[in-house]
Amino acid sequence: SEIKVELIENAITQFCVEGDVVNYERYGNGHINDTFVVVFQKNSEQTRYILQRINNSIFKNPEQLMFNITQVTSFLKDEVKRLGGDSRREVITVINTKEGASFYQDTEENYWRMYLFIEDASCFEQVSRPEDFFQSAVAFGRFQKLLSDFDASSLYEVIPDFHNTPLRYKTFLQAVKEDKCNRAKEVQDEIMFFIKREEDMEYCKRCLEEGKLPLRVTHNDTKLNNVMIDNKTGNGLCVIDLDTVMPGLSIFDFGDSIRFGANTATEDEKDLTKVNLDLELFEEYVKGYLKGCEGSLTDAEIAMLPFGAKTMTLECGMRFLTDYIEGDVYFRIHKPEHNLDRCHTQMSLVLDMERKWNEMNEIVSKAKGGNL
Ligand code: ATP
Ligand code: MG
Ligand code: MG
């Protein structure tokens, strides 16, 4: 979306950065926020910053979102320093405004924030080598470990009930009952697929409520391109894109990475024979995640990693089906039945996980042993 030049240039001047602006331009491949790189110069030295306009049609409460980000990043920085790391490269650095706030609200309801630019590191859009997937797992695991003593309940739920699977199941049943578009009759098999797995969808939430799984700080957008990889070492360096940091379950962060990262096909592949869980990629991610977590996960969390992957895939498939039944009101579609195609890939992936269930669990036990 177009943003008036005056608004961008005004926003740039609000933050506590020394020197003069050399130039600025749009940057990166993000789909949610408007991202710019801004170059400042002081004496002969140039420093880059990331300027973002927060998408406040998706994030209704930027104050709460920035509260979460500042709390989590300052905790992370202390931990990284304590461990002797470089907190300006391994953690997002929020630049305050001249007024001392973590974001700037302009006169047209735009919310702006600025981060230090993490130099000599890259973001990859797709898994081209299993090693990249492994490194992203190490980074997300390390993120989890470094925050294991952070009180997750002190964070806002930026998107309420984001992974409240039983609630999403209720919404699904309601949509079937209302059947506003008269589509339910065409998708009886799909509906039954999810109803048959009702107990699976409630299990993780129950484990949390019964104290069998701990409440954690979760990232909730654990894609490959939300990790910066160090150009020199090739190691996962820093987890970025912290908008959806919230209280939640570690196994859901893990599980969602598997759902989209270890699927052999795209999310809307029509040839369902192509949709499989790639066990090699699954193993890479398990190994990387356990390595990054470094003993901070409980035995129950580790044991339930495969179940987290299955639950995320079920939840996602069920949401696509719900949206199809409700008339494609939530997810943007590019062709008729697009949501149904997406639902089918998730169902196929669930089925493949069910087929490979023993292997998935063996991979986890073996990797756990290797990490003791
Ligand atoms: P998404 O579509 O993944 O939700 P987004 O719109 O929320 O993305 P970000 O992921 O925060 O945006 O940022 C977009 C891109 O900008 C990143 O993929 C990365 O390439 C780059 N980027 C963001 N923050 C930094 C940083 N601190 N240092 C260097 N590059 C960054
Ligand atoms: Mg991103
Ligand atoms: Mg994002």
Can you tell me the distance from the alpha carbon of 178 to that of 174, in angstroms, rounded to the nearest whole number?
6
For a mutational test of ligand 1's pocket, the pick from 34, 39, 50, i.e. the residue with the most ligand atoms closer than 8 A to its C-beta, is 50
Q: How many Cβ atoms sit within 10 Å of the Cβ of residue 165?
A: 21
Read off φ and ψ for residue 135, nearest 5 degrees. Answer: -65, -35
User: CA nearest 281: which of 115, 128, 168?
Assistant: 128
Distances (CA, A) of 56 to 15, 65, 105, 108, 115: 20, 10, 11, 12, 18
Distances (CA, A) of 188 to 61, 193, 235, 318, 348: 38, 9, 47, 13, 16
Residue minimizing CA distance to atom 12 of ligand 1: 30
Residue minimizing CA distance to atom 10 of ligand 1: 241
How far does the centroid of ligand 3 lie from the alpha carbon of residue 241, in Å?
A: 5
For a mutational test of ligand 1's pocket, the pick from 17, 125, 241, 256, i.e. the residue with the most ligand atoms closer than 8 A to its C-beta, is 241
Nearest-atom number in ligand 1 for the CA of 122 is: 20
User: In this structure, are residues 258 and 278 in contact, taking their beta carbons and an 8 Å threshold?
Assistant: no
Tell me which residue has tokens 């980074």.
139
For a mutational test of ligand 1's pocket, the pick from 91, 125, 240, i.e. the residue with the most ligand atoms closer than 8 A to its C-beta, is 240
DSSP state at residue 241? -
Can you tell me the distance from the alpha carbon of 87 to that of 82, in angstroms, rounded to the nearest whole number?
10
Low-confidence residues of the chain, pLDDT below 70? 1, 371-372
How far does the centroid of ligand 2 lie from the alpha carbon of residue 72, in Å?
A: 17
Residue span(s) of the chain under CATH 3.90.1200.10 come to 130-370
Please tell me the predicted confidence (pLDDT) of residue 370: 78
Nearest-atom number in ligand 1 for the CA of 31 is: 2
Give this complex's ipTM. 0.99
Residue minimizing CA distance to atom 20 of ligand 1: 28
> Tens of pLDDT along 197-212?
999 999 999 999 999 9
User: CA nearest 352: which of 325, 314, 318, 319?
Assistant: 314
pTM: 0.96
> Tens of pLDDT along 250-274?
999 999 999 999 999 999 999 999 9
Tell me which residue has tokens 């950065």.
17
Assigned CATH for 130-370: 3.90.1200.10
Q: Between 3.90.470.10, 3.30.572.10, 3.20.130.10, 3.30.200.20, what CATH number should domain 5-119 receive?
A: 3.30.200.20
Residue span(s) of the chain under CATH 3.30.200.20 come to 5-119
* Closest listed ligand to the CA of 237: 1
- What is the identity of the amino acid at 153? S
